[in-house]
Structures are given as structure tokens and as C-alpha cells.
């Protein structure tokens, strides 16, 4: 059984570190957390951590999750503001609390309790882009009363400045034959305050089972939530389907959705034998992902398979 690390392109700042750690014998959770922390701190990755896009109120809200494929214990946080590494807060939830998910003020309280690093995640360029949207799209009457105005219609009309909306995802099979998963994101730009995507929802944004495999999703998280896509892929493998067939079934589940955010979503998966597959649905351009296998000198980029729903 060969060690493997699978990530999406947003993982570029951290995939090398995670692969290096796995090659040295580190456990999957340690490698994933270390890799994602580097992504969260890199302001060139505009959909994760510091530098992520703001919500409708001009605030950066972050989501993250980790899951242990042996115990099925998970830790997740959602709508966290003012902390640099939501992935580490999520891991602390996994290891220190009897809960699986904390959100908003509760997550911030816990982050403070464990001494998590604070920061202003709204960098100058993100604030500039939000300000341009605000001045161009928010009616003058609402600007005068801001933020005490209805937001629902603004949310429906808002256009994400970066259509990818991409979480960073890390899936690993380590030297102990354990399968782990972790994700982190700033979510959909101009989202309604408090919106959670699939990332902090275990079974939607990511799932792992050391007996069978792991999966994670990026893109329009509402789709993955409705279809339970990550859990579905792993469950189909548990039922005896191959990795490829399991993903085909999960894609068919997504095809059955009607209404809502039927936009692009990308599915990533590995199995216990070290096989992998990445499928981008409705992609407008070629997407790539990072792959590292035991024996590789470094991770290398591969093109994702593209399928239209």
C-alpha cells in the first residue's frame, strides 16, 4: 500500500510541505494541518484564509474541517472571523471537545481559549474589491442606512469575483495505512453573513474511512451539501464499487438536483489501494490538481477530468 497525497490547485503553497512530511513518516492529520496552514497564510490564494473574499458586509468568514478515517472523529468550524488558521481550530475541536462542529461566536470563543493566532483576514485588495461592489451595486438609499438593510436580494444578485469559489482540499494515505482528510475555505464571496458551505459539513465537503477511501469537494458547496457528495463516494466504495464507479454514482446523484446553485463542483477521491480520481463538473476551463505518491521526489500537477452535468 503506497502512501499518497491528493490536493487541488489552491493547495500550491502547502502541498510540498505535506508531501515531505508524509514521505518522512508523519501521520496524515499532521501533514494535512501543516500543509493547509501554509495555504491559509498565503494571501495569493484568494479563496482560503487570509486574503479570502468578504461576505456581503465586507467581513471575511472562514470555514475548515478535518476527519480521522480510523475513528470517524471530526472537527469543524464555520463562519469564524479574525483567526489566521481555522484548520488548527478545527483540529482542536476534534481532539479537545465532545463536539464535531462549532460556528460563529462559539468557535471564536473556543479559538481564544486555545490561544489560536488572531489576524485581520481582510487584506487591502479584498477590501478594495468589496468596496467597488458596494459602491456600484448597493442602492444609494441602502448605502446611507448600511448595514441595517435587507441583504437577501443583494445576495441573489451578487457575482463572485472569482467563480472558482474553491476550498483547498487535502486527502492522504499515510505510512500507517490511515486515511485522513482536511479542508479550509473563505467560502463564496459576497455570501449572506453566517452562510456555511460544504467545507465544515462532514460528509458533504469531506469524508474519510481508512477501510475504503476519502473524498472532498470544491466549488458550489450547496450542491455537495444537498447530495452528501463526499460521504456518498466513500459509501459507494464501501458497497463494493470501484473508485471510478463510486464517483460516477455520486455524479449521477448530483444530476438529480433541481434548482439552486447548479454550478461547477469538483470531486476528489482516493481509495485504500492508493488510486485516485479528480472530476470537474461543468468546468469552463481546464483545472489541475496536485498528486504525490510514495517514491515521487515532489508533487506534480495533473489535469482534472471534465464532465458536464
- Taking only the tens place, the pLDDT of each residue in 287-304 is 999 999 999 999 999 999
pLDDT score of 164: 46
pLDDT score of 161: 59
Q: Is 95 helix (H, G, I), strand (E, B) or coil?
A: helix
Count of all residues that appear for the chain in the document: 309
Q: How far apart are CA 30 and CA 118, in angstroms?
A: 21
What is the per-residue pLDDT across 89-105, written as a single tens digit (0 to 9) for each? 999 999 999 999 999 99
What does the mean pLDDT of the chain come to? 94
pLDDT score of 55: 94
pLDDT score of 61: 97
pLDDT score of 269: 98
* Portion of the chain with pLDDT greater than 90, in percent: 89
pLDDT score of 83: 98
What is the per-residue pLDDT across 112-169, written as a single tens digit (0 to 9) for each? 999 999 999 999 999 999 999 999 999 999 999 999 999 998 887 666 655 445 799 9
Cell of 303: 489535469
Told to judge if 167 belongs to the known catalytic residues of this protein, a careful annotator would answer: yes
Helices (H) and strands (E) in the chain, counts: 10, 13
Which one of 167, 168, 185, 218 is the catalytic residue?
167
Distances (CA, A) of 190 to 16, 44, 151: 31, 19, 10
Contact (Cβ atoms closer than 8 angstroms) between residue 242 and residue 233: no
Residue 37 has pLDDT above 80, yes or no: yes
User: Torsions phi, psi of 100, nearest 5?
Assistant: -110, -25
Nearest to 239 by CA among 250, 227, 226, 224: 250
Residue 108 has pLDDT above 50, yes or no: yes
Amino acid at each position: 500500500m503506497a502512501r499518497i497525497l491528493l490536493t487541488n490547485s489552491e493547495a500550491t503553497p502547502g502541498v510540498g510541505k505535506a508531501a515531505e512530511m508524509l514521505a518522512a513518516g508523519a501521520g496524515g492529520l499532521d501533514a494535512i494541518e501543516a500543509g493547509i496552514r501554509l495555504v491559509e497564510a498565503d494571501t495569493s490564494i484568494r479563496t482560503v484564509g487570509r486574503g479570502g473574499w468578504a461576505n456581503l458586509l465586507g467581513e471575511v468568514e472562514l470555514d475548515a474541517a478535518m476527519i480521522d478515517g480510523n475513528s470517524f472523529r471530526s472537527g469543524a468550524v464555520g463562519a469564524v472571523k479574525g483567526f489566521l488558521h481555522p484548520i488548527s481550530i478545527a483540529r482542536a475541536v476534534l481532539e479537545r471537545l465532545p463536539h464535531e462542529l462549532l460556528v460563529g461566536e462559539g468557535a471564536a470563543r473556543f479559538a481564544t481559549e486555545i490561544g489560536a493566532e488572531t489576524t485581520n483576514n481582510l487584506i487591502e485588495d479584498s477590501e478594495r474589491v468589496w468596496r467597488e461592489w458596494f459602491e456600484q451595486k448597493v442602492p444609494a438609499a441602502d448605502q446611507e442606512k448600511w448595514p441595517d438593510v435587507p441583504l437577501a436580494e443583494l445576495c441573489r444578485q451578487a457575482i463572485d469575483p472569482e467563480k472558482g469559489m474553491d476550498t483547498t482540499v487535502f486527502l492522504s494515505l499515510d505510512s500507517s495505512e490511515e486515511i485522513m482528510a482536511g479542508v479550509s475555505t473563505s467560502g463564496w464571496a459576497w455570501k449572506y453573513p453566517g452562510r456555511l458551505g460544504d467545507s465544515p459539513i462532514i460528509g458533504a465537503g469531506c469524508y474519510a474511512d481508512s477501510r475504503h477511501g476519502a473524498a472532498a469537494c470544491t466549488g458550489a458547496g450547496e450542491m455537495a451539501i444537498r447530495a452528501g457528495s463526499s460521504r456518498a463516494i466513500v459509501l459507494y466504495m464501501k458497497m463494493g464499487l470501484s473508485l471510478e464507479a463510486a464517483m460516477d454514482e455520486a455524479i449521477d446523484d448530483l444530476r438529480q438536483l433541481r434548482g439552486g446553485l447548479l454550478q461547477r463542483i469538483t470531486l476528489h477521491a482516493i481509495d485504500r489501494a492508493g488510486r485516485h480520481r479528480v472530476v470537474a463538473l461543468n468546468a469552463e476551463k481546464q483545472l489541475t490538481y496536485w498528486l504525490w505518491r510514495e517514491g515521487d521526489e515532489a508533487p506534480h500537477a495533473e489535469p482534472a477530468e471534465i464532465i458536464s452535468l
